[in-house]
Amino acid sequence: MSKSAVIAIDGPAASGKSTVAERIAKELKFLYFDTGVMYRAVTLAVLNANIDPENEAEVSALAGKIGIDVQPPHKNDGRQYDVLLDGSDVTWAIRAARVNRNVSLISTYKGVREAMTSQQRLIGLHKNVVMVGRDIGTVVLPEADIKFYLDASVEERARRRFSEEQKRGVQVDLDQLINAMKERDRIDSTREIAPLRPAADAVILDTTDKNIEEVVTEVLAVIHTRLELSGM
Ligand code: DC
């Protein structure tokens, strides 16, 4: 497809958005950008620097100083991309439980969000991008051509995360995952700045009883219809 567009995909953790976004970006030959990695990289930097995650001023100052880069994958170990923090490969380190525990709090800080959002907008200026996150359709790229909001029950999302972790050889407890996910959902959707919620003009898809193929097919069908209708 040679048409160009900016596609925003938002939704809670493990709603399928990253997998679906990667697939459709490949199909459309668009850039795929997962904004969650930026908040995760800030969180890792905070923990590595022994800064108290509750110290908003210090966390925000650090967020403005670090360099986060996302590059095509240089290893074939299941990664979708390389995430570099000040030049070091942190692709798997940003998925650690200690990052999961602190990332939602750190994402509530105004200074952190401003630093990340401005970089994300620059990426979104280039057409042909599928950008994934919590606030892409509402705050980062409200002018996006097509917006999706993927959701699924918390139990199903925790089960998906559970099997992903098991595949990577990480031992986790399903009940703990459900509770941790509920807590992240709560913080992400009740924060003051850019809370997780569907944009008014988003296409909302519940993926609870759907596999990835079904969701990819639905999303692509919407994209093709919309782009044809708008004559882009
Ligand atoms: O999608 P993820 O699980 O990698 O995101 C990690 C955290 O980052 C999530 O709990 C909230 C935050 N986040 C955000 O606040 N805004 C975004 N656009 C993307 C992620």
Question: Furthest-apart CA pair in the chain: how many Å?
Answer: 52
Q: Are 198 and 12 in contact (CB under 8 A)?
A: no
Q: Which two tokens stand for residue 197?
A: 């919620």
Q: Are 11 and 153 in contact (CB under 8 A)?
A: no
- Pairwise CA distance, residues 183 & 13, whole Å: 11
Could you tell which of 35, 130, 177 is best to mutate to test the pocket of ligand 1, judged by most ligand atoms within 8 Å of the CB? 35
- Pairwise CA distance, residues 79 & 154, whole Å: 24
Q: Ligand 1 centre and the CA of 228: distance in Å?
A: 31
Q: Of all protein residues, whose CA lies closest to atom 5 belonging to ligand 1? A: 36
Residues flanking ligand 1, CB < 6 Å: 13, 35-36, 39-40, 103-104, 107, 133-136, 184, 188
Q: Ligand 1 centre and the CA of 35: distance in Å?
A: 7
- Pairwise CA distance, residues 167 & 164, whole Å: 5
Atom of ligand 1 at shortest distance to CA of 14?
3
Fold (topology level) of 6-226: Rossmann fold (3.40.50)
**Which residue stretches of the chain have pLDDT < 50?**
1-2
Give the residue extent of every domain in the chain.
6-226
**pLDDT tens profile 88-145:** 999 999 999 899 999 999 999 999 999 999 999 999 887 799 999 999 999 999 999 9
In sequence order, the 6+-apart residues with CB closer than 8 A to the CB of 148 are 7, 8, 9, 10, 11, 17, 137, 202, 203, 204, 205, 219, 222
Strands 129-133 and 31-34: parallel
Q: Of all protein residues, whose CA lies closest to atom 11 belonging to ligand 1? A: 104
- Pairwise CA distance, residues 1 & 20, whole Å: 17
- Pairwise CA distance, residues 156 & 213, whole Å: 17
Q: Ligand 1 centre and the CA of 38: distance in Å?
A: 8
CA 25 → CA 34, 93, 106, 129, 231, distances in Å? Answer: 11, 25, 28, 7, 20
Q: Ligand 1 centre and the CA of 64: distance in Å?
A: 18
**pLDDT of res. 2:** 47
**pLDDT of res. 165:** 87
pTM comes to 0.93
